[in-house]
Amino acid sequence: MTNREALLGGMNDIPVKDISVSKVLLDQGINPDTEYQPNDNENRRGVDLALAALILVISLSNKSIKQLDFQITQHDIDQLLILRNGILRKWDVDDEMEESATITDISDLW
């Protein structure tokens, strides 16, 4: 099995573009067409982090579009982001999506 096939195996048949799969793997320094090596920690880490990146791509894309009444269906983003966060925590990678501004006092706005 190639790294591309290993990554797609974690997607549970969610359709993704081949170019997106290649990009997230290459961004992690993983060759999509070489043999997946589950005993190599760096290879597993790269494929897992590519999966986390691909989950973010999927969560930002449309699930389906109907044209007659123009209906756009989104993926369940909350559940996808929880899964992504779990993958990142597994490899001790900070989730940049968690870092957000916190409002502590709004009294000056009134």
| Amino acid at position 73, single letter | T
Prediction pTM value: 0.70
Task: Provide the domain limits for residue 69.
Answer: 3-95
Q: What is the pLDDT of residue 15?
A: 76
Residue 91: pLDDT band (50, 70, 90) is confident
Total domains in the fold of the chain: 1
Domain assignment present for residue 101? The answer is no
Here the tokens at position 85 are 């966060």
C-alpha–C-alpha distance, residues 47 and 7, integer Å: 6
Q: What is the average pLDDT value for the chain, to the nearest integer?
A: 81
C-alpha atoms less than 13 angstroms from C-alpha of 75 in its C-beta half-sphere: 17
pLDDT-derived band at 35 (thresholds 50, 70, 90) equals very high
110 domain-assigned:
no
